[in-house]
Chains A and B, each alone.
Chain A
Amino acid sequence: MIAEIGLAVLWMAAALAVLQLFAGFSALRPSGKVLGGVVRPLAVMQGALVAVSFFCLIDLFLETDLSVKLVAANSHSMKPFIFKLAGTWGNHEGSMLLWVTIMAVSGGFVALIEKRLREETLLATLAGQAFVSLGFYAFLLLSSNPFERLPEPAPEGQGLNPLLQDVGLAFHPPTLYVGYVGLSVAFSFAIGALITRDVGPAFARAMRPWVLGAWIFLTIGITAGSYWAYYTLGWGGWWFWDPVENASLMPWLAATALLHSASVLASRNALRAWTVMLGVIAFSMSMVGTFLVRSGILTSVHAFAVDPERGSFILALLAVYIGGALALFGIRASTVTEGERFSLVSREASLVFNNVMLCGILGIVLLGTLYPLLTEAFGAKVSVGPPYFNPVSAIFAIPMMLMMGVGPLLRWRKDKPSRITATVAVPALLTALALLAVVVLAPGIRLLPLLGIAVGIGLAVASWLPLRGRNLRRTPLSVWGMVFGHFGIGVALLGAASESAFSTERLAAMNVGDTQSVGPITLKLISIEPVAGPNWTALEATVTASYNGGAPVTLHPQARTFSSPPGERTESALHTRWNGQLYAVLGNEGEDGRWQMRFWWKPFVPLLWLGGLLVAFGGLLALLGRVAQDVKRLRVGDKIAFRKARQEMLK
C-alpha cells in the first residue's frame, strides 16, 4: 500500500508542476494576471507531496518490503538500520527521487519566503523551477520508477554494495545532492531574471542565500567524499581526478564563482550578465556531472548506476535545459543593461580576476574529464590523470590564491595599490620566507608542493587581514565568513602540499612479532585475528605504533568480507597526531604465511579536511549573516508599513 501511495503522490506532484509551469508563465501576460495568485501555493504543495513520496520510499526501505523491486535489489533484512536508511538513496531510482524531492522542496521554500523580488520575476522563477523539475519527474516516472512491485515478493534482498556500507558514505551522496540540486534554484532565478529582463541587485540578493546554502553542502560533500575515498579505498590517496570526483568539483567551482559575482551584483550592481551566466552554468555543471556518472560514458571507479538508456534520457534533459537556458541567455544578454563601472584596481576587479581563474580551472577540469572521449573520437585511447590536472590547474589556482590574499583589502570601485602595500607586505614576506625555508630544509622538493606550502602559509595569514582595524564585535558575520572561508582554503592547500611532498610509504611482508618503520614511526605487528560485524567478517590486525620511540598506540586495520552481497573491502586504520597521520592497511596473506602490510606517514594531511570544514564553516557564517540581515530588513520594512498605515488611519 505504501508503495502505491508513494507513486500516486509522485504523479500528483508532477501534475501540480505542470499547473505551476502554465500558471507561472500565463501570469506574465496581462490577460493571465489572475493566475499569479495560485503559483506560490502550487509550488508549496508540490514540494510537500514529493516529500511525502520520498518518506514512503524511506519507509519501504526501513521495513525491507521485498515485494518492491528496488528494495529487493538494494537492501537486505539483515542490514543495520543506518544502511537500510541509506539504501533509499544508494541506488539510481532512489537518488533520482531524492533529486526531485530537493528540487521541489526548495522550490516550495522559495515560494514561501521570497519577498524581495519583483512578483513577475518570482513567478517566472517558479515556472522555470517547475519546468526543470518536470523533466526529472518524467525521467523518474517513465524510466526509473522507484515504487515498482515485483510479481512475487523476493525471499531476500540482494543487499547494498559493500563499498557503500559505510556511515560516512551513507550521508555523503545526499549531502552532495542537496548541493547539486540546490543550485537549480539559482538556475531558475537566472531564467526568471532573463525572462523578465530584471537582472539587478534584488535578483542577486534573492539568489545569494540559495547559492550559499548549496555551496556549503557541496563543500562538505566534497570534503567528506575525499576523506571517505582516503580511508576506505585503501590507496592512501585523497583525490584521484576520477570523473565522478570531477563531476562534484565542477559545480563547486562554478558555484564559488557565482557566489562572488553575486556579491558584486548585490552590493555594487555590476557584473550583471556574468552573474546570470554563472547561475546557468552552475546547475548545468551539476546536470553534466550527473549525466557523465549515470550514463557510463566515461569509465569510472564510481560508476555504480551505469545504463546507456538512462544516459540518453538525461542527455535529452541536458539538451533542453542547458541548451535552452544558454539560448535564452544569448537572446536576452544583449538587453541586460550594463552595470556599474569600476577601475582596474578595485575589489570588483580582483573578484573578476578570480572569477576568470575559477572558470579557467573549471574549463580544464571539464576538458580533462572529456579528453579521453575526445581523443577516442579521433581514434586514440588515452587516460588523463594527475600529471595533467595538477600542474595545469595550478597555473590558474596559484595566481588566484595570491589574489585572494589581496582582493578583500581593496576598496570597491577604485583604489590605490599604495594604500595596501604595507598591509600585504607581512604575508608576502612570510610566503617568501616559507619558500626559502622549504627549499633549504627539504632540498629536491617538487615545484608544485613547494609553491603550495609557501602560498598556503601566505594565504592563511593574509586571510585574517580584512579584520585589521575593525571592531571585531561589530564586524558583520559575512566578513567573518569570508575570513574563515579564505583561511580554510589556505589550510587545505598546506595539507595537500605537505601530503604530496613529505608522505613516506612502506610496503612490507610481516610475520606476527615483526617490526617495521615508516617516517618517524616504529610499528610492530602483534596479532592477526578474525572478528565479526553485523553483516561481515574480517581479519583484523593489531599493530602498535610508536612515534619517535614514545608510548605506543594500537591500530586495527581490517580486511572485511561482506556476506550480503558478497564482497571485500579493506578497512584502513588511522592514527591522527597534531602533525600528521599514520595510515595502515592489511593486505593478503603471502605464500609463506607473512602478511602484506602497507603503511604511510603523512605529515599534516588532516589539515586538508580541516581546511575543507573551515571553508564550509565560513559559508555557514556568511549565510547566517545574510539571513539575519534579510530578516532585519523585512522587520524594518514591516514596521514602516505599519506606522504608515496607522498614520493613514489617524488622518
Chain B
Amino acid sequence: MSEPGKKRSSLAIWLPLALFGAFFALVIWGLVRPADREVASAFIGKPLPQFDLPAATADRPGLATAQMTGKPRLLNVFASWCVPCAVEAPQLAALRDQGIEIDGVAIRDRTEDLNRFLDSYGNPFARIGKDDLSEVQLAIGSSGVPETFVIDAKGVIRYQHIGEIRPEDVPLIVAKLKEAQS
C-alpha cells in the first residue's frame, strides 16, 4: 500500500495546480460574461413533448399534445396559488378576445381552488390540463409560474415568456404569434 499522491516523479503532483488553473479560467470567464440570469427553455424550436393531461375543471376539457396543432396558440403555465398569475389574467383575457386560442396547464392545483381562481379572474382557456407533479411543466422547460409559450401550427415551441404578461408585453406576444404563423 502506498500513500496517495506519492508518485514523486510523475506529473500527479502538478495535477492540483492544473485543476486550479481550469477552475481559474472558468471563473474568469464567468466574471466577464454578460450578465444574463434568465433561464431560457432549451426546448425552443423543438416540438412539444407528448403528454395527455386530465381535465382540471368540469367545464373545460383536458390537454393533450395531439390537440395542439392546426393554428398558432399560447400555452400558459399557471396555478391558482400564484399571485402573478392573477395579475396577468386581464392580459390573457385581452389576447383571447383577439381570437387567440389559449391552453392552460394548472400546476399542483386543486379543482375547487382553480374554480374559485377562474371565477374571480376570468377563464381565458380553451382547455386546462391538470399537472399535479409538474411533469409537463418540466418537460417543456419551464421553471416557474406563470410562463407562457408560443406554439406554432405544427406544435413546435417558438417562444417562451417568463413571468407574468404585463400590458406592455402583449404586442411582443402577438408579434411572436404572427411569426409562428409563417
Contacts and interface: CB of A to CB of B under 8 A. Distances in A.
Contacts of B21: 323
Given A308-B31, A315-B31, A380-B42, A352 B16 contact: no
A327 B39 CA distance: 38
Interface band, chain A: 35 or more
B59 interface: no
Contact of A330 (B13, B24, B30, B117): B13
Contacts of A185: none
A517 to B, nearest CB: 17
Contacts of B51: none
Contacts of A374: 26
Interface in A287-341: 288, 291, 295, 297, 299, 308, 311-312, 315, 318-319, 322-323, 326-327, 329-330, 333-334, 338-339, 341
Contact of A383 (B3, B5, B39, B116): B39
B66 interface: no
Contact of A342 (B1, B13, B28): B1
Interface in B1-60: 1-6, 8-9, 13-14, 16-17, 20-21, 23-24, 26-31, 33, 37, 39-40, 42
Contacts of B8: 273, 333-334, 338
Nearest to B10: A334
A260 B67 CA distance: 62
A349 B1 contact: yes
Contacts of B81: 596
**Candidate in B31, B42, B117 with the most chain A CB atoms within 10 angstroms:** B31
A207 B159 CA distance: 58
A591 B16 contact: no
Contacts of B3: 270-274, 339, 352
B98 interface: no
Candidate in A284, A322, A591 with the most chain B CB atoms within 10 angstroms:
A591
Nearest to A265: B3
Contacts of B31: 295, 297, 308, 311-312, 315
A355 interface: yes
A132 interface: no
Given A274-B4, A342-B1, A352-B4, A592 B27 contact: no
Contact of A377 (B6, B13, B26): B26
B4 A329 contact: no
Nearest to A277: B5
Interface string A256-277: 0000000000000011111001
A343 interface: yes
Contacts of A355: 4
A164 to B, nearest CB: 23
B36 to A, nearest CB: 9
B57 to A, nearest CB: 16
B182 interface: no
Contact of A591 (B17, B39, B116, B143): B116
Interface string B80-117: 01000000000000000000000000000000010011
Interface residues of B, number: 33
A333 B42 CA distance: 46
Contacts of B9: 334
A291 B14 CA distance: 23
Contacts of B143: 383
Interface in A525-574: none
Contact of A291 (B5, B26, B27): B27
Contact of B1 (A284, A338, A343, A383): A343
B17 A330 contact: yes
Contacts of A376: 30, 33
B28 A315 contact: yes
Given A330-B13, A373-B26, A381 B1 contact: no
Contact of B14 (A284, A295, A330): A330
Given A299-B37, A381-B39, A356 B4 contact: yes
B56 to A, nearest CB: 17
Contact of B5 (A319, A333, A380): A333
Contacts of A349: 1
A277 B4 CA distance: 10
A370 interface: yes
B162 to A, nearest CB: 12
Interface in A340-369: 341-344, 346, 348-349, 352, 355-356
Given A273-B13, A295-B27, A315-B24, 4 more contacts: A277-B16, A318-B24, A352-B1, A376-B33
8 contacts: A270-B3, A273-B5, A280-B16, A295-B27, A315-B28, A349-B1, A370-B23, A381-B40
Interface of A: 270-274, 277, 280-281, 284, 288, 291, 295, 297, 299, 308, 311-312, 315, 318-319, 322-323, 326-327, 329-330, 333-334, 338-339, 341-344, 346, 348-349, 352, 355-356, 370, 373-374, 376-377, 380-381, 383, 509, 591-592, 596
